[in-house]
Structure 1
Amino acid sequence: MIESLEELEKVKKSCYSMVTKSSTLSAGAAVIPIPGLDLGSDVTLLLRLIPKINDKFGLTPEQIENLDTESKIMVMTAISNVGSKMAGKYITKKLVLSLLQKMGVKMVAKGTTKFVPFIGSAVAGGISFTSMKYIGNRHIEDCYQIALATLEEKRLEQEIVIEPETEQH
């Protein structure tokens, strides 16, 4: 579990770097004019990337399960409030495909543009890079908000415990 805002910022920065690397790989696969190669590589990249992001933020199902009951409730409440579809969940091919399906228009455009000589491949690569970057960064933001809410909740809890109760007459 992330213990400080400084640690949280480091994790966020590290995850952005992972997303950029995955986005670059996705763009590289999209440039190759083989039908279905880019979608397959995007699924594979996301099946690796999303769990790594969850892990860095302490939001894998296993990490959450190992928390004490109170912390677990805090994290699950934060996940629910943020509305994340991937934090604290097992990342399956079905989940990734549904995520990519929501990006459907971009994926169709990517698939058709790659067959236009020269420029089409570059456009497909650009669309692929942007789509992967969007999905990854969006997930980072969700995880960041969840971790931030959990940190804040813990801080407030500690303040309540530390402050002695005062009686008012």
Structure 2
Amino acid sequence: MDNQEEYQQNDSGEMTLEWAREEVDRLDHVTLNIAVTGESGSGKSAFVNAFRGLQDTDEGAAETGVTETTMEPTMYPHPTMPNVKIWDLPGIGSPMFKAETYMKDVKYPNYDFFIIVSASRFKENDAILAKEIMKKKKNFYFVRTKTDTDVSQEERKGVGEEQTLQKIRKNCLENLRTLGPPPVFLITSNKLERFDFPELVNTLERDLPYHKRDALVMSLPVHSKEFLDKKYSRFKKTAWVLATASAGITVIPVPGLSLAFDVAMVVSFLTKCYYSFGLNDGTLQKLSERVNKPILAKARESALVMAIAEESSLAAKAAARLGAAGVVEALCILVPGPGNIAAAGISFATTQSVLLEGVKELYSVAKGVIEMAEVK
């Protein structure tokens, strides 16, 4: 009987450990493949770059031009979230990619959803493509780019921005009326926070399976406080899940396991926050040069930012903070039943506190970066 109970406890512990590891690794392992398509010269590559937080001239940016520059599906990994992949697809209707065979030619099962881009009005090929995507039971979203150019041109004629946006939207919907018509999102890749990009993000987040939403939100370029707040909210929820995992690990009677797991988890989590908030040296250096302000130096005044950037002291700091609680947990476990419950509670509270304090500090630094760069 005692052997059977021991087996059940070990088996439960292994299951708890496996679940906890899955939760910790989920942000890295859940992939999101975004297909960006449309007619030649519609601004697909510029949109791909903007979504990745890159300028068209940055290293690793998709090639842009007034003619078709993408001759085959090209994958661009997100600079700081490699599990998010944006695919720049060839223009539909080009000699090598005809509308009737387009979906098969670009290997449609590889993508989670499609963004159909146009720089002017949507045409017959766009509608044909949307219908083919529907047949394959994939989601698609119409994105009308270069909206800022039209707004500026109309303003010179004395036409207000809202009136111009209504005119563009009406024209797009008329050309897509055979599809319902579907919603159209007006954006500019030069400044994603303008116009309908936030609404597009909210729609994508709503439509994606739950386990892929984190990947989307955490990969968003930090172009506005709204996007930053969205990331912060998501990370706070993740902190609760990870603290719960920590509590589950605590009851496994393996010396040092709980502390080792918690330290690795804290380091992984805060490093993920650091990159998602755009606080890595490369991103901040580019921003500093763009706005001609010492943003990188200002961000590095944070001890936590420095610890993550130098990849040296973060684990030691986490171990020191979590170690004292680990001693108490070990003593509690010596008392079966109530002791295990107490140990789990201590682990949950301590780990959650460390995670939340860390993400709050990184959020505060990122908010300061936005304010310093005068981004609203």
Letter aligned with residue 76 of structure 1: A
Matched, 1:8 2:228: yes
Could you tell me which residue of structure 1 aligns to residue 348 of structure 2? 129
The two structures, once aligned, show a CA RMSD in angstroms of 2.5
Q: Deviations over 1:77-124 (max 9, x none)?
A: 1441xx3324651445x5223322134432211222122111111111
Question: For the structure 1 residues 112 and 61, does the alpha-carbon distance in structure 2 shift closer, same or farther, using more than 3 Å as the test?
Answer: farther
Could you tell me which residue of structure 2 aligns to residue 35 of structure 1? 255
Could you tell me which residue of structure 2 aligns to residue 167 of structure 1? none
Is the contact between residue 30 and residue 38 of structure 1 (CA under 8 Å) also seen in structure 2? yes
- Specify the structure having the higher radius of gyration (Cα): 2
Is the contact between residue 61 and residue 90 of structure 1 (CA under 8 Å) also seen in structure 2? no
Letter aligned with residue 43 of structure 1: V
Could you tell me which residue of structure 1 aligns to residue 48 of structure 2? none
Q: Which runs of 5+ in 2 are unaligned?
A: 1-220
Question: For the structure 1 residues 67 and 153, does the alpha-carbon distance in structure 2 shift closer, same or farther, using more than 3 Å as the test?
Answer: closer
Could you tell me which residue of structure 1 aligns to residue 72 of structure 2? none
Percent of aligned pairs with the same amino acid: 25
Aligned residue pairs total: 154
The CA distance in 1 between the partners of 2:367 and 2:292, in whole Å, is: 13
Could you tell me which residue of structure 2 aligns to residue 53 of structure 1? 273
Structure 1 segment 30-109 matched on structure 2, within 5 A: 30-69=250-289, 73-80=294-301, 83-86=302-305, 89-92=309-312, 95-109=314-328
Q: Deviations over 1:109-149 (max 9, x none)?
A: 12221221111111111111111111111111111111111
1:71 deviation in Å?
A: 6.7
Matched, 1:144 2:370: no
Letter aligned with residue 117 of structure 1: P
Q: Deviations over 1:25-84 (max 9, x none)?
A: 11110111221110111122123211111122112344335544357721431441xx33
Structure whose residues are more often helix by fraction: 1
Q: Which moved more, 1:68-77 or 1:41-50?
A: 68-77
Letter aligned with residue 57 of structure 1: F
Could you tell me which residue of structure 2 aligns to residue 161 of structure 1? none
Could you tell me which residue of structure 1 aligns to residue 239 of structure 2? 19
Q: Which runs of 5+ in 1 are unaligned?
A: 159-169
User: 3-state SS of the aligned residue for 2:346?
Assistant: helix
User: 3-state SS of the aligned residue for 2:373?
Assistant: helix
Q: TM-score, normalised by structure 1?
A: 0.77
The CA distance in 2 between the partners of 1:155 and 1:142, in whole Å, is: 20
Is the contact between residue 281 and residue 296 of structure 2 (CA under 8 Å) also seen in structure 1? no
Could you tell me which residue of structure 1 aligns to residue 45 of structure 2? none
Q: TM-score, normalised by structure 2?
A: 0.37
Question: For the structure 1 residues 75 and 68, does the alpha-carbon distance in structure 2 shift closer, same or farther, using more than 3 Å as the test?
Answer: closer
The CA distance in 1 between the partners of 2:355 and 2:336, in whole Å, is: 29
